[in-house]
Every structure is written in structure tokens, then in C-alpha cells.
Structure 1
Amino acid sequence: MLSNSINIALSDVIAASKRYSLAGMLGWQDVRQRYRRSALGPFWLTISMGIMISTMGLVFGQIFKSPLTEFLPFLSIGIILWGFISVSISEGCTSFIDAQAIIKQLPIPLFVHIIRTIWRNILILAHNIVIFPLIFIAVGKSLNLTMLISILGFLLLIINLTWITLLVGLLSARFRDLPQIIASILQVVFYLTPIIWMPSLLPQRANLYLLDINPVYHLLEIVRSPLLGNFPTITNWVVTLILALFGWTLTLVMYGRYKNRIAYWL
């Protein structure tokens, strides 16, 4: 039964991967439609995020007594990555719901809509990421080769975000209250994760439940640490890999079992 469910799910994922051009086109169209007739398009998000990061950096840097040369780059990449993660998950909840007209009319692999959601948010991330090098230069930091490790970390982040998006999309199609619940959970996770505060500020006893067993922290660190000139820890890599293996196994089983019911739930 499990192997059959996984085979059904994998068949849909592989078929959707072969239609990557369709998913890419839909993602581009989503971004263009969202910022239609806007002079700066998605760069309005970049400008507003840049202002927010600068303001928060000045305020929280004083509150936490952290030097801006360290805190501002940490805060900027944390906010940018968190925005990408949280919006991907939030929009993942409605991936199938928003595409119900297409799902009911066209026989395309359902996983195409998950790729569409991830790709759309990668495009927005590409606009927002320009804030980071500007801040890096503004505080007198220099670029280094360690930053290249963040490419591997980002790929692992995408792998994990994809199964999370698929899982919440599947569950939200069945349980329509779930998007609101997940939005509330994401708000709590934001404050429990070192995004606007640095891990060095924590007392040692708090590391266990705010860092070690916090999967979002590890997902952030495999991308953020190299960009800040540090190496992610072995724990960061191990937790991220285990999360990917366990998450994809669970998601494929559930997706294979309930995929054919999604059209009836919508």
C-alpha cells in the first residue's frame, strides 16, 4: 500500500517536472499580474523591505546592544529568507485552491501548481536579495568564497520547502481552516527563531528549545551562515537532511493516497 502510494506520487512529480516550462510560465504570469501597471513592479516590495530592515536594525541594534556591522547584515538576510519561507508556505496552502479552475478543466500533473508557487516566490526573492549586498557594503564588509556554500544550502532549503508546500496544499484543500492556523503558527515561529535577535544573546539553557530542536533555525542557518562568512555546523546539515528525507517520505505517501481526491475537495 505504501509503495503504491509513493509510486503514484512520484509519477505525478516526475510528470510535472517534465512540464517545468509550463510551471515557469505560470509563475512569471503570476508575478506580472500581481504588479500590473506598477512602475517599479515587485521592487516596491524590495524598497519597503529595505526601509523596514534599516529601521529595525537601528532600533533593535540599540536594544540588544549589538554592533550594527554585525547585526544589520544578520537581520537583513534573516528577514529576506524568512519572508521567502513564510510566504512560500502561506501561498502553498492555497496552491491547489487557487488553481481549481485549471485542475477541473485540464489534465495536467497537480504538482505543476506546487512548482509554480515555489518559482513565483524565488522570483520575488531574487528582487529582495539585492538588499543584502548593499547593506554588506554599507557596513564595510567584504565578499568572500565562503558565501558559495549558501548555494548548496539554498538548494536544500528549496527541497524542504517543496515538500512542505505540497503537504500544506494537500491538507488545506481538504481542511479550509488550515491556512489561518498555519498563518498563526508562522507568526509564533518568527519570534522563536533567531531572525530579529542573534543566537549569541541566548543563555545556554535556552539553546535546546530555541535552536537545537527548531527546524526553521537550521533551514535558515545553512543559507545565512555562509553569507555572513561562517560555516554551518554539522548539526545544521544533519537536521536539514533528515527533515528532507522524513518530510518527502511522509508527503509522498499522503499525496499518492489522496491525490485523486483533490479535485473533489475543491
Structure 2
Amino acid sequence: MTTGEAPLDNPSRTFGRAWDDVRRGVRAVDLWGHLGWQDIKQRYRRSVIGPLWITLSMAVTAIGLGLLYSQLFKTTIGTFLPYITVGFIVWNFIVGCVIEGTDTFISNEGLIKHLPAPLTVYALRTVWRQTLMMAHNLMVYVVVVAIFFTNLTAAGYTISDGGTQQPGLSWTVLLAVPGFLLIAVNGVWVTLLFGIIATRYRDIPPVINALIQLVFFGTPIVWSTDLLTGGGAFGGGGGHWRVLIAELNPLYHFVEVMRAPLLGMVVSWHHWAIVGGITVIGSLLALVAMRNYRARVPYWV
């Protein structure tokens, strides 16, 4: 055995052990729940308004970009501002899980070496921390919806002038709950898989950071897919093939399964199908990584 490596014939390298780690990690809710909450408290210690800085930051970003891009794309602020707000809330949760997930095991080096806890605990800690931050950001959503409630409940409203007509807010808003749960489950497997890879290869986190910046501009957050089909400021038509720019971006589908219900937009089944497929495949890949390299993580950190 070489220095820093677990033995190749380590009996822990079985799917049973990997699944047991996941199962015991989920059950340790008191541990990862407490650690995630402490992360939020520690980040805003000695701050006057504490975690409300999360809400304030989101509000400033959403309002600023909403006002700017509504003018650039010549859209109605009453529907476009909520669209950008919810888009940023969901996007920040997804990106937080990805970026902080790659650093999960590295940042928990001390606990991993001294606390006999399942590795899944640290992944759940990361996702739970991001969930708490999203909960703060949803306060902005509530305020924005209250202000533009008339616009969002009007049947046939559009995000961009001349764009797809939306049904308006209704009971379908409840679909945001399973949408969030799907995103959270993906956050766990992403954290486990990318966390293990990044622990072994420390160049992965900066690469992920760079790619995320690029993917952001290709994801309909500050712009709508209506613009790709000729709606809004660009006019014309016949550009439905351009929607592939968004459709080939997996993060677009993750954003939509939660954003669409929260805004009373058309909830397309294909978003759910793609997210569900990625969830299954990603979870299997994470389980394989846990089987093969779970025992080596304490050696690598």
C-alpha cells in the first residue's frame, strides 16, 4: 500500500457499505442539521441583522437586474421581475450545492479525521446549509409576489411581450415542493460525487467555478426562452430551433421544475422527466464513487 492510499482489497469497498453510509448519514439528522445551522450562525456572527443579509443581498440583486433587463428586453416589469427573482433563488441554491459541494470534504478535514461519522453527513450538511439560505431568499419571493400578485394571477400573462402565454398562479404552485425535493436530492449526489473527486484532485474546484460562470449566461435566468423563439424585443419568429440552446443545458430543467410552479407558468412534463433521469443516473454514479473511494477520503483530505 502506498502512502495516503487505502488498501485495494479494503472490505469496505462494497455497495452494501456505501449504501449503509448513506442510510446512516440520513438518519444522523441531529448532527448535520446542527452543523448546517451553526454554519449560518458562524457566517453572520457579530452582524447586526445576521442571516437577513442573505435576504437583503438577494433583494438588491433581483431588483437591480430585473429593472435593467426589463428595459433591455422591453418586457413588463410586473412579470419579468418575479421571473428573475425566482430564477436567482433557485439558481443560487443549485450553484451553492455544486460549488460548496466540491469543497465539502476538504473543508471538513478536521471532523472527518476525528469524528466517526458517515461521509454522507457532510454532504447533507452542505445541502441543508443551502436550504436555510434558500428559505431566507424565499422571503423576497413572497414580497415580490404580493406586489405583483395581479400580474401573476392574470390568465394568459407573458414573461416577454409576444411570448408564451402562462396560465397564472394557481394550486400548481404546490408542485414547487416536489421540484425542490428533486433538486435537493441531486444536490446530495453532486456533493458526494464531486466532493470525492475534488478531494483527490484539487484542481477540480477552480475548474467548476469557471464553468459555472459560463453556464450561467447560457441558462434562462436573466432572459427568457421566449427571446429564442422570436418573442419579446427581438420579434420575428421561426426560431424554435434556438430553444436547443436552453434545452441542452441540464441546469435549465432543474430551475424550471421549481420556478414554473412558483410563477404560475406552464409546467412541462419533459422538465420533470429530464430531472428525474439525471437524478437516477447521478445517484448511481455517486454510489459507485462511494463504493470505490469512500474509505480513501480520510487519506486524501
Q: Normalising by structure 1, what TM-score? A: 0.95
Give the whole-Å Cα distance in 2 for the aligned partners of 1:172 and 1:80: 26
CA contact (8 A) 2:97 2:190 kept: no
For residues 183 and 218 of structure 1, what CA distance do their matches in structure 2 show? 20
Aligned twin of 2:271: 236
- The partner residue of 2:21 within 12, 22, 32 is 12
Mapping 1:189-204, distance limit 5 Å: 189-202=215-228, 203-204=239-240
2:216 counterpart of 1:207: no
Provide the rounded CA distance (Å) in 2 between the counterparts of 1:132 and 1:35.
22
What CA deviation, in whole Å up to 9, does each residue of 1:19-60 have, x standing for no partner? 111110111111111111111112112112211211111110
> What is the percentage of aligned positions where both structures have the same residue?
38
- TM-score calculated relative to the size of structure 2: 0.84
Q: What does residue range 1-266 of structure 1 map to in structure 2 within 5 Å?
A: 5-141=14-150, 142=153, 144-202=170-228, 203-208=239-244, 210-266=245-301
Partner-residue secondary structure (3-state), 2:223 = coil
2:113–2:298 CA contact under 8 A, matched in 1: yes
Residue 94 of structure 1 deviates from its aligned partner by 1.1
The offset of 1:250, in angstroms, is 1.1
Partner Cα distance (2:175, 2:297) in 1 = 38
Alpha-carbon displacement from aligned partner over 1:66-96 (angstroms, at most 9, x marks no partner): 1111211110000111111111211111111
- 1:5 and 1:250 map into 2 onto residues whose CA distance is 14
Structure with max Cα Rg: 2
Q: Output one character per residue of 1:157-198: Cα deviation in whole Å (capped at 9) or x when no partner.
A: 111111111111111100111110000111111100000001
C-alpha distance in 2 between matches for 1:35 and 1:5:
41
**CA–CA distance in structure 1, aligned partners of residues 17 and 206 of structure 2:** 30
1:140–1:107 distance in 2 versus 1, CA, 3 Å: closer
Q: Distance in 2 between matches of 1:162 and 1:232?
A: 24
Letter in 2 for 1:130: M
Q: CA deviation at 1:226?
A: 0.6
Q: Which amino acid aligns with 2:180?
A: F
Aligned residue for 1:45, secondary structure, equals helix
| Paired residue secondary structure (1:107) | coil
Where does the alignment leave 5 or more consecutive residues of structure 2 unmatched? Answer: 1-8, 154-168, 229-238
Distance in 2 (CA, whole Å) between partners of 1:6 and 1:253 is: 7
Q: Contact 2:102–2:195 (CA<8 Å) still a contact in 1?
A: yes
Is the alpha carbon distance of 1:23 and 1:218 closer, same or farther for their aligned partners in structure 2, counting shifts above 3 Å?
A: same
Which stretch shifts more, 236-245 or 158-167?
Answer: 158-167
Moved over 4 A (4+): none
- What displacement does 1:135 show? 1.1
Which structure exhibits the higher relative contact order, with contacts defined as CA atoms closer than 8 Å and separated by 6 or more residues? 1
Structure 1 residues 129-173: Cα deviation after superposition (integer angstroms, max 9, x where no partner): 110121112223355311111111111111111111111111110
Higher helix share: 1
Q: Displacement, 1:65? A: 0.9
Verify the 8 A CA contact 1:88 1:118 in the aligned structure 2: yes
CA RMSD, 1 decimal:
1.4
Instruction: Give the match's secondary structure for 1:197.
Output: coil
